[in-house]
Structures are given as C-alpha cells and as structure tokens.
Amino acid sequence: MTGPSISRRSLLRGGAVGSIAALAGIGAVAAAGPSTLPVPDGPSHQDVATVRPAHRDAAIEHLRSLVERAAPIVERAREAGVFEGERFLGYEGSVSSATEFLDTSHPATFDTISTARYHVNYVAETFGVAVASLDDVTIGPSGPAQTGRASDIDALSESIRYESNAPAETMVWIDLIESWLHVAMIAGRNAEVDREALSAESERVRNRALARAVRNHERSVRFLSDARQFYRTFRARQSSGTSLGLDAARRTYREQIRTAAHDHEWYDERRVDEETPRDTAWNRLLTLAPGERSLDDAEWARRDGLAGLETVQLAEAAAQFRGFATGKERIERLRGNSTVPRRLLFDTKRRAVDGAYRIATAGDAFERWLLGRAAMYLSKGDRFLTDGEILDNYPRAHALACYGTAVGVVDTIPSVAGSVTR
C-alpha cells in the first residue's frame, strides 16, 4: 500500500478518528487512487491478552531443556556429517542461536514467547534429524527425544470454562487459547509414528518420519503449554461472571450461514469465460469464496471438541458470507461496462474503510477482532492494483471484488458480534 500507514493500535491508544476524511484529503486521495486509502491494521491478541512472568519462564525453561537434550546429540551428528547435503541450511546453527537467546534476559511479552517458540521449532527439527540418523534408540520415553503428542491435552480441553462479565474480550481470549490448543492437537497427531509400518520403509523415509515426529512432539508441548498459560491468565483476571451463550450463538451463526454456504462444485459451475470486467470480477469473487475456509475451520474445531474456537470461526464465516453478497452486488454495477469506473472502485473501498475505522475506534474487542477479515480483503484488493500480480486487462475488477466483499463484512460485524456480546 502506497499511502500512510495508520496503526489501529495507535488509534485505540492515542485518540480516535471517526472518518477517513479526517485522515486524508478525499479529493487528493481520489485522484491518486483507492489503494492510497489507509486501512486499519489487522487485529492482535495483544490488544486484550497479556503474558505473565510465569508464562515467560515456562517457555524459556522448555527451550532450555530441549537445548540441553539436543546439544550433545546434534554435535555427534555434525561430526558424523549427518547434516551434509540437507536442504535446510540452519541445522548446525539452530542450537547455538537458541543458546544465545537463552543467555540473555527477556521481558514477559508476546515477542519473547514467540521467539522461544521459533527456537523450539528449529532446535527440535535439528534434534529430530540428528537422533533419527544416529541412534534410533534415543527416541522414546527413556530417551532424550520423544514422539507422540504432549500429555494432558485432553485434560486442558475438558477443563476449559469461560465465565466473564466482559464477553467481547472473552471471545478474543477464546480464540487465543483454543487456537494454540488446536495447534498442539494437530502437531501431536503429526508426532505419532507407527514403528512397525516404518520398518518396511527405506532408511531415508524412516529417518524423515522419525525426525518429523520428534519436531512435532516438541511443538505440541510448546503450544499446549502456551494455551494452558493463557487460560490461567484469563482465569486469574476474572473476579466473577456468567457463562457466555456460545451454544445459542453457534445456532444463530449456522442458521445465517445455512443458505449461503456452497460446495466446490457450486463455485466451479458458475465460473465464466472472461470477456468483460464483470466476468473477471465475478470469477475473482468465486475464487475468494468468502466464508468457506472459516466454515471448514469451524467444522475442524467442532470435531476436535473446541466449541469456543468453533464459535469464533463461525462468526468469521457469517460475516464473510455477507461479504459475498455485497461483493456480488458491487460487481453487478459493472454490467455493460468495458472498464471499471475509478469512482466506483474508490467509493467502494472508502465505504469499507470508513466503517472499518468506526469499528477500530469505537467497537468492542470482538468487533475489532472480526475486523481482521475485512482488512484481509482490503489488503488483497490493494495488491491487485499495486503489485502487478494480475497480467490481464482488468486489475480493477479483481480489486472491486475484494473491496465489495470488505464492505459486506464491515457492515455486518456489529450484528455478528452482538450474537455473543449482547
């Protein structure tokens, strides 16, 4: 985006601005083009959540334990030439880089636990390659390297309860806690190995599978610990409260989605040969398929027993399906046109951006969280205009589909969020 970068967090913390007209001269921006309209930043868990020192310490100690277990075996692997010819060139440096991180002090922040998680991932990958190649007996309950999912995943999942007098903030906490718990579950499944089945494979295939399992075990441990720590922080902040109506909200969202969701065949059957800007914009909207991915993610969360995460993702899906309808309405304005009018494109984005700033400055925490879906579509539209990715004659048509979708998402956010917060 070529225009000024205006942080949503700076708006939230340093004074509100209610209209894009107050941020930039509308006439000048219109002349320059819609991609110069600044968009609020995407949402962040940091707007609501905090990291306690105990959380920071748990992340650091997990990494320290991993480095202590990995270092001697990685050194043996290096001396044996195990890493020679490997495509990932960071193997030999991962342990030393993590050690440098551990040798300095770090504040209790999201950046600290994110960096610790980064080092866990790469040290674990190096560790897995080393133990699988050198000595398989070191992998298992009695060895320094382990496979399988982290223990106590089910215990945390079954114990989670959300009671709060601040439902909007709680929805953001739910997304944070259960998203990380879900990653722990998925990594844990990818950390399972069938030794008997692997025995029939080549040494290379066997080693790759074992190395991947070791890495994913550590990822499962790390994400489970982070999810547990965030849940403890959330609980510690609650003095009293009532249960959120998540069951009712899910029913509402599913009813809103019921007549709007489609299967892949529906999208494929409606694609058209591109002869006009309208054709191009319509095909772009079908490619975006607003809401479908969030709906799939909600189903995945449901199958894994994460009702809170399912609710958040259904809310995102409901808002995006409204975006599909509005995007289609904007595209229909191109019927009979040989070009996409600059004014139509600008006005569509301006309407989305105006609404986005109103939510960013005056909306509740859950409304601001849902705003991330609109920001995504606005950003996609800008890229079609500025990055040269589209080589056909109608880049504005691609952008219009994205901006029109963003309008619908922004317009419906208050009612979608209100299914839980009011």
Q: Classify the C-alpha dihedral 137-138-140-142 as positive or negative.
A: positive
Per-residue model confidence (pLDDT) at position 21: 37
The 10 Å Cβ neighbour count of residue 273 is: 7
Of 252, 269, 211, 228, which is closest to residue 62 (Cα–Cα)? 228
Q: Give me the chain's average pLDDT, please.
A: 88
The confidence score (pLDDT) of residue 13 equals 30
How many C-beta neighbours within 10 Å does residue 25 have? 10
- How high is the pLDDT of residue 391? 66
Cα 396 to chain centroid, rounded = 27
Which residue did the predictor score with more confidence, 322 or 243?
322
Reported as a single tens digit per residue, the pLDDT across 143-164 is 899 999 999 999 999 999 998 8
More confident of the two residues 271 and 4:
271
Whether 42 and 6 have beta carbons less than 8 Å apart is answered as no
What is the predicted pLDDT for the residue at 22?
A: 36
Which helix H or strand E contains 77, and what residues bound it?
A: helix 53-79
More confident residue, 186 or 391: 186
pLDDT at 121: 95
Rounded Cα gap, residues 23 and 71, in angstroms: 53
Reference 405, options 337, 327, 334, 329; nearest CA is 327
Return the residue matching tokens 């080393």. 130
Amino acid at 105: S
Q: How far apart are CA 290 and CA 347, in angstroms?
A: 21
Cα–Cα distance for residue pair 244/250, rounded to 1 Å: 11
Q: In this structure, what DSSP letter does residue 249 have?
A: H
Task: Say which residue the tokens 């892949």 belong to.
Answer: 264
pLDDT confidence tier of residue 259, bands split at 50, 70 and 90: confident
pLDDT at 238: 82
Distance between CA atoms of 165 and 132, rounded to whole angstroms? 50
Weakest mean pLDDT among 93-97, 140-144, 151-155, 245-249: 140-144
Rounded to an integer, the average pLDDT of 5-29 is 35
Asked if 413 and 370 touch (Cβ cutoff 8 Å), the reply is: yes
> What average pLDDT score do residues 303-308 get?
96
Structural contact between residues 275 and 391, judged by C-beta atoms closer than 8 angstroms: no
- The pLDDT value given to residue 17: 35
385, 37 contact by CB (below 8 A): no
Q: Give the chain's count of helices (H) and strands (E).
A: 17, 2
Say yes or no to pLDDT of 369 above 80: yes
Asked if the model's pLDDT at residue 264 lies above 90, the reply is no
The answer for residues whose C-beta is within 8 angstroms of residue 273's C-beta and 6 or more apart is: 279
* Surface-to-core class of residue 298, CB atoms within 10 Å of its CB (0-12 exposed, 13-18 middle, 19+ buried): buried
- What confidence category does residue 374 fall into, taking pLDDT thresholds of 50, 70 and 90? very high
pTM of the model: 0.87
State the amino acid at position 34 in one-letter form. P
> What CA–CA distance (Å, rounded) separates 355 from 415?
14
Looking up tokens 């040989």 gives: 338
